[in-house]
Amino acid sequence: MDESIRIDKYLWAVRLYKTRSIATDACRSGRVKMNGVALKPSHEIRVGEVYELSIEQMHRVVEVKNLLGNRVSAKLVPDFMLDRTPQEEYERIQMIRQYSFEHRDRGVGRPTKRDRREIDELKYF
């Protein structure tokens, strides 16, 4: 194990971001914070530190449990990261997904012209 690791590499390794470059961009744009201060991608993490992340519409809070050098499987993530995100945040995201007009069940196919008109009527009027 490394004695220190960059925050962008850690966030990618524990599968919070799909690619390391996306994690780097998130750091550069101020979506990764510690104690309210935005972090640079080169910030060296330590065990026990707590980070606040904005991933799409969700605000997550994670604590570093252990350092790691490479990306790990999803089953091993709990060994390296503790998710401290409040349950209310998960409920808020679930509600957004449930009441979204844009959601279509998988396998239903594209909306018909009639469906599209009804969707537009709900969205814009």
CATH number for the domain spanning 40: value is 3.10.290.10
Asked whether residue 2 is domain-assigned, the answer is: no
Asked whether residue 96 is domain-assigned, the answer is: yes
How many domains, the chain?
1
Show the domain range for 68: 7-124
Asked whether residue 1 is domain-assigned, the answer is: no
pLDDT 10s per residue in the chain (125 long)? 547 899 999 999 999 999 999 999 999 999 999 999 999 999 999 999 999 999 888 899 999 999 998 999 999 999 999 999 999 999 988 887 777 666 678 888 888 999 889 888 877 76
> 91-123 b/e with 16+ CB inside 10 Å = b?
eeeeeeeeeeeeeeeeeeeeeeeeeeeeeeeee
Asked whether residue 104 is domain-assigned, the answer is: yes
